[in-house]
Amino acid sequence: MKKLLIITSCLAVIAGSATLISLFTANANNTIIEEQEVTRTIESMYPGTVQTIELTHENNDPRYEVEIENRHGTYDAVIDATSGDMLHLEQSEAIELESPNDQETEKNEDVLISPERAEEIALAEVENGYVDDLELEREDGRVYYEIELETSQGEVDMEIDAYTGEIVIMSFD
């Protein structure tokens, strides 16, 4: 009977130790991203500036609640604090232009490149190709041109940032 009690106690200690080790390991792998890094990432992906950023917890999941402001309005974003993934983005306040002349003073970072310019950028990346389809997409707060090209070697799909003209994704089918 003593042996059974000792074996059971040892198994309980081992199981408890394994649970604690897994909790500490899981916490080490889910390091919270620093506010400065989140701010830099958001401001490089979206036109405007971060006005506020606050670390919160929802269901024990750390998140950053971020307010971004640009000439078009104010946007509220929720960012996963461990992965950096955008969980939510919505415009909370729109700013209307006072006159058509306001558009002329708009910063270049707030101006979309034209579809023609996106096509030129895409064609410069492939040899002997032509654009089969070009669409302006707005998804998860990003604005980009989705372009399908046909080449002698097959189909090429591209996503080009509609603000900067940078090729974000290029895949060959």
Per-residue pLDDT tens listing for the chain (173 residues): 555 444 444 333 344 343 334 433 444 457 999 999 988 887 777 777 899 999 999 898 999 999 988 777 888 888 999 988 878 878 788 776 554 444 444 444 568 899 999 999 999 988 888 999 999 998 877 899 999 999 888 899 999 999 989 888 888 87
C-alpha dihedral, 142 to 35 to 32 to 64, nearest 10°: -60
Tally of CA atoms within 13 A in the half-sphere of 47 that contains its CB: 17
How close are the terminal C-alpha atoms of the chain, in Å? 68
